[in-house]
Chain A
Amino acid sequence: MSRSTGDRRSIAQLIRIGLDRTEPVVEWIIRLCGWSAILFVAAIFFFVFREGAPVLFSGGGSESAAVADAEPSYFSLGEFLSSPNWRPDSEKRPQYGIVALLAGTMSVTVLAMLLAVPLGLGAAVYVSEFSGPRIRETLKIVIELLAAIPSVVWGFIGYMAIGPIIISLTGAPVGLNVLNGAIILALMSVPVIVSVGEDALRAVPDSYREAAIALGASRWEVVYRVLFPAAKSGLLAAVLLGVGRAIGETMAVLMATGHAVQIPHSPLDPVRTLTATIASELGEAVRGDEHYRVLFLIGIVLFAIAFVVNLTADVIVKGIRGEQND
Chain B
Amino acid sequence: MTEHHSDRLEYFISASAPNAGDGSIERPWRSFNDALEAIGCDESGAFDATSSHREYEFVFLSGPAASFQPPARAQHQFYVNVDQHVGGGDGSELTPWSGLTAAIDGLKSLSDEGRLKPKAGECVRLSHRQVFSSTSVEQKKERRETIARYTFLGMAMMLVLPVVAILSYLFLQAWPALGPTFFFDNPRQGMTEGGIWAPLIGTFFLVLTSLVIAAPIGILAGVYLNEYAGDNWFTRIVHLAVVNLAGVPSIVHGLFGVGAFVYFANMNRSLLAASCTVAVMTLPVIITSTKEALAAVPVSFREACWNLGASRWQTIRTIVLPNSFTGILTGVILQVSRAAGETAPILFTGAVFFVPIPDSGVESLVPYGLSDRFMALSYHLWTVSTQVQNVPKSVQFGTAVVLIGLVLAVNSLSIGARVYLRSRKKW
Residues of A within 8 A of B (CB): 19-20, 23, 26-27, 29-31, 33-38, 40-41, 43-44, 47-48, 50-51, 118-120, 122-123, 125-127, 129-131, 139, 141-146, 148-153, 155-157, 159-161, 187, 190, 194, 218-221, 223, 241, 244, 247-251, 255, 275, 278-279, 282-283, 287, 295-296, 299, 302-303, 306-307, 309-311, 314
Whether the Cβ atoms of B252 and A248 lie closer than 8 Å is yes
Closest to A50 in B: B259
24 contacts between A and B (CB under 8 A): A20-B314, A27-B228, A33-B217, A34-B221, A36-B217, A43-B256, A47-B260, A47-B264, A122-B154, A123-B152, A130-B153, A139-B156, A142-B160, A146-B159, A156-B396, A187-B162, A190-B159, A218-B141, A248-B248, A250-B254, A279-B254, A303-B252, A311-B243, A314-B243
Name the CB-closest residue of B to A276. Answer: B251
Stretch at the interface among B10-18, B105-113, B124-132, B336-344: B336-344
Contact of A30 with B223 in the complex, beta carbons under 8 Å = yes
CB distance from A298 to the nearest CB of B (A): 9
- Cβ 8 A contact of A150, one of B148, B255, B280, B407: B407
The answer to whether A157 and B251 have CB atoms under 8 Å apart is no
Complex CA distance for A44 and B252, rounded to whole angstroms:
8
Q: Which of B390-408 contact A (CB under 8 A)?
A: 396-397, 400, 403-404, 407-408
CA distance A41 to B246 in the complex (A): 10
Q: In the complex, how many angstroms separate the beta carbon of A27 from the nearest chain B beta carbon?
A: 6
Cα–Cα, bound, A151→B397 (Å) = 15
Residue of B148, B264, B403 ringed by the most chain A CB atoms within 10 A: B148
Please report which residues of chain B, range 335-369, place their CB below 8 angstroms from some CB of chain A when the two chains form the complex.
337-338, 340-344, 347-348
Q: Is the CB of A314 within 8 A of B240?
A: yes
Asked if B411 is at the interface (CB within 8 A of a chain A CB), the reply is yes
CB neighbours (8 Å) of B86 from chain A are none
Bound-complex Cα distance A153 to B384 (A): 12
| Distance between Cα atoms of A247 and B243 in the complex (Å) | 16
Residue B400 contacts which of A33, A123, A153 (CB distance < 8 angstroms)? Answer: A153
Q: A30–B160 Cα gap in the complex (Å)?
A: 41
Residues of B near A150 (CB, < 8 A) are 340-343, 378, 403-404, 407
Say yes or no: A153 contacts B341, CB within 8 Å: yes
Q: Which of A31, A122, A142, A310 contacts B243 (CB 8 A)?
A: A310
The reply to whether A47 and B259 contact each other, CB–CB distance below 8 Å, is yes
Question: Which of A33, A36, A279, A306 meets B347, CB within 8 Å?
Answer: A279
Q: Find out whether the CB atom of A40 lies under 8 angstroms from the CB atom of B245.
A: yes
Within 8 A of A (CB), among B209-239: 216-218, 220-221, 223-225, 228-229, 237-239
Q: CB distance B344 to A250 under 8 Å?
A: yes
Which residue of B166, B218, B343 is within 8 Å of A161 (Cβ)? B166
**Contact indicator B158/A119 (Cβ below 8 Å):** yes
User: What is the distance, in angstroms, from A231's C-beta to the closest C-beta of chain B?
Assistant: 15
- Please give, as numbers and ranges, the residues of chain A lying within 8 Å of B407 by CB-CB distance: 148-150, 153
Given the complex of chains A and B, what is the CA–CA distance between A148 and B405 in angstroms? 11
Nearest residue (CB) in A for B317 is A19
Query: A residues within 8 A CB of B370?
Result: none
| Docked-complex contact B247 and A244, CB < 8 angstroms | yes
> Residues of B contacting A37 with CB < 8 Å?
221, 238, 241-242, 245, 283-284, 287
Residues on B lying within 8 angstroms of A by beta carbon are: 141-142, 144-145, 147-149, 151-156, 158-160, 162-163, 166, 169-170, 216-218, 220-221, 223-225, 228-229, 237-256, 258-260, 263-264, 280, 283-284, 287, 311-314, 317, 337-338, 340-344, 347-348, 378-379, 381-382, 385-386, 396-397, 400, 403-404, 407-408, 411-412, 415
A241 to B246 Cα, complex, angstroms: 11
Interface of B is mostly: helix
User: Is there contact, CB below 8 Å, between B343 and A251?
Assistant: yes
Contact B400 A31 (CB under 8 A): no
Which residues of chain A come closer than 8 Å to B158, judged between CB atoms? 119, 123
What B residues does A221 contact at CB under 8 A? 141
A27 touches B151 (CB 8 A): no
B252–A48 contact, CB under 8 A? yes
B381 touches A153 (CB 8 A): yes
Whether the Cβ atoms of B397 and A160 lie closer than 8 Å is: yes
Q: B152 is contacted by which of A29, A36, A122, A279 (Cβ under 8 Å)?
A: A122
Q: Which B residues touch A282, using CB under 8 A?
A: 254-255, 258, 347-348
Q: From residue A300, how far is it (CB to closest CB) to chain B in Å?
A: 8
C-alpha spacing A43/B280, complex, angstroms: 11
Expressed in whole angstroms, the Cα–Cα distance for A30 and B311 within the complex equals: 15
Contact A122 B156 (CB under 8 A): yes
State whether A33 touches B251 (Cβ < 8 A): no
Residues of A within 8 A of B254 (CB): 250, 278-279, 282
With contacts A153-B404, A306-B249 taken as known, whether A279 is within 8 angstroms of B344 at the C-beta atoms is yes
Contacts of B342 in A (CB 8 A): 150-151
Q: Tell whether, in the assembled complex, residue A249 and residue B163 are in contact, meaning their CB atoms are under 8 Å apart.
A: no
Least CB distance from B135 to A in Å reads 11
Residues of chain A with a CB closer than 8 A to B152's CB? 122-123, 125-126, 129-130
Inter-subunit contact B155/A123 (CB<8 Å): yes
Could you tell me the distance between the alpha carbons of A27 and B248 in the complex, rounded to whole angstroms? Answer: 29
Please state if A152 and B248 are interface contacts (CB–CB under 8 Å): no
Compute how far the CA of A313 lies from the CA of B354 in the bound complex, rounded to whole angstroms.
41
Q: How far is the CB of A39 from chain B (nearest CB, A)?
A: 8
Question: Would A306 and B156 count as touching, CB distance under 8 A?
Answer: no
A148 and B259: CB pair below 8 A?
Answer: no
A119 touches B244 (CB 8 A): no
Given A141-B415, A150-B342, decide whether A251 and B248 contact each other with a Cβ distance below 8 A. Answer: no
